[in-house]
Structure 1
Amino acid sequence: MVVASGINSYAKEMAIRKRMANIFNKREDDFPSLKEYNDYLEEVEDMTFNLIEGIDVPVLEAKIANYQEENAEQIINARARKAEELAAALAASKGQPAQADSTIDGAPSQNSQAGGGQGQYAPAIPGATIGQPRPTGMAPQPVPVGYAADDKEMMKLRAERGGRAGGWSAEMSRKRAIEEAFASIWI
């Protein structure tokens, strides 16, 4: 049952990381310097690791609760900002212009001041849709101009160039194959 315990620990870690990301949701532009932002990220990661490993859990839970109380407004504003960004991304993926209503604290956002209409937020429930159902199959992808899918010479050339771009060469492959072959010979 090693696999089952591995899945449970993975689910536990993901739940803790999701919870921490929802609470400690500051961004780089919330800090005066990159160093302060990196220190903040390091502190959050240390707390996350200790929660996952079960180190000083009561102390960490108290620290998290205290942070939530002190920064409740900032946390809510960051969540609202994220929801607006998700709504804009959803609208952009549907080919619609981004629209926003107002932020969570009632102050009008830049989009609403510019004449934007009622905004939509992404669904919180997996599988829920806004407006249109999700596609069930893969749509055929367009073929790039100047690319023949059945041109074997072009496919070979692309594979070779892609390999070289990644640092691979035919000579290196041959050398490794020879080394592995001779390394397995016992005298």
Structure 2
Amino acid sequence: MVLASGTNSFAKEMAIRKRIANIFNKREEDFPSLREYNDYLEEVEDMTVNLVEGIDVLAIEARIAQYQKENAEQIMIAQARKAEEYAAALAASKGQLPQTGVDPSSSSQAGTSSVAQGQYAPAIAGAGITQPRPVGVGPQPIPLGSGPDMLGHEYEDEETMKMRAEKAGRAGGWSIELSKKRAQEEAFASIWI
């Protein structure tokens, strides 16, 4: 029964860490110095550990709520940035160029936007140009754990999964002939013992 409580404890910790990471999602480049970033990380980790251990939960939940209230826009921007990076990485892993909504044949001039209406275009850092983020327009990000798996494969039938496993084995140097040969060698070797 120790295993069950250990698994439950692990699941609880992972859920807490995921929740905290979605709220306290600043990066090193969001801070003027490495020291301030490290202090931020330490504070977040202290809150996480205290929540996992059940220490001063009400006070920590109040701090989290206050932080969410004060930094709602920054949290959303960081989540959007993370989703964009995930989409770009997914597109790169498939060998595709990321979809930006930009027509490559049109030449854009400074100060004008070449992004289709309703599409999000990140602000250019340092240029002072900002664009509003559309709400509820266009495709929404797909939550992890639903739809295609991490490699982009839709859930497949048994025959397709078997074929994919055989291809993966062949790519790793395994073959059915090799397996049969080894089984025969082991069988004949055991006869002489």
In structure 1, the partner of 2:18 is 18
**1:49 aligned to 2:49?**
yes
Specify whether residues 120 and 89 from structure 1 end up closer, same or farther in structure 2 by C-alpha distance, changes over 3 A only.
Answer: farther
In structure 2, the partner of 1:40 is 40
Tell me the TM-score normalised to structure 2 length. Answer: 0.61
Measured in 1, the distance between the counterparts of 2:155 and 2:96 equals 16
In structure 1, the partner of 2:121 is 108
Specify whether residues 123 and 40 from structure 1 end up closer, same or farther in structure 2 by C-alpha distance, changes over 3 A only.
Answer: same
- Match of 1:98, as an amino acid? P
Specify whether residues 20 and 14 from structure 1 end up closer, same or farther in structure 2 by C-alpha distance, changes over 3 A only.
Answer: same
Pairwise mapping of residues 140-179 of structure 1 onto structure 2 (< 5 A)? 140-141=170-171
1:60-97 deviation digits (Å, cap 9, x = unpaired): 00000000000000000000000000100111111100
Specify whether residues 53 and 132 from structure 1 end up closer, same or farther in structure 2 by C-alpha distance, changes over 3 A only.
Answer: closer
Tell me the TM-score normalised to structure 1 length. Answer: 0.63
Specify whether residues 56 and 47 from structure 1 end up closer, same or farther in structure 2 by C-alpha distance, changes over 3 A only.
Answer: same
Measured in 1, the distance between the counterparts of 2:72 and 2:99 equals 26
Could you list the runs of 5+ residues in structure 1 that have no partner in the other structure? 112-118, 144-187
How many Å apart are 1:126 and its aligned residue? Answer: 1.6
How many Å apart are 1:19 and its aligned residue? Answer: 0.3
In structure 2, the partner of 1:128 is 147
Higher RCO structure (Cα 8 Å, ≥6 apart): 1
Measured in 2, the distance between the counterparts of 1:141 and 1:94 equals 18
Whether the aligned pair in 2 keeps the contact of 1:92 and 1:98 (CA below 8 Å) is: yes
- Match of 1:123, as an amino acid? I
Could you list the runs of 5+ residues in structure 2 that have no partner in the other structure? 102-114, 125-137, 174-193
Whether the aligned pair in 2 keeps the contact of 1:84 and 1:121 (CA below 8 Å) is: no
Whether the aligned pair in 2 keeps the contact of 1:20 and 1:48 (CA below 8 Å) is: yes
Structure 2 SS opposite 1:51: helix
How many Å apart are 1:109 and its aligned residue? Answer: 2.5
Aligned length: 134
- Match of 2:85, as an amino acid? E
Specify whether residues 8 and 132 from structure 1 end up closer, same or farther in structure 2 by C-alpha distance, changes over 3 A only.
Answer: closer
1:102-151 deviation digits (Å, cap 9, x = unpaired): 7xx9762269xxxxxxx9775215240398636833434388xxxxxxxx
Specify whether residues 87 and 28 from structure 1 end up closer, same or farther in structure 2 by C-alpha distance, changes over 3 A only.
Answer: same
Measured in 2, the distance between the counterparts of 1:21 and 1:6 equals 22
Q: Please, what is the CA RMSD of the aligned residues?
A: 2.9
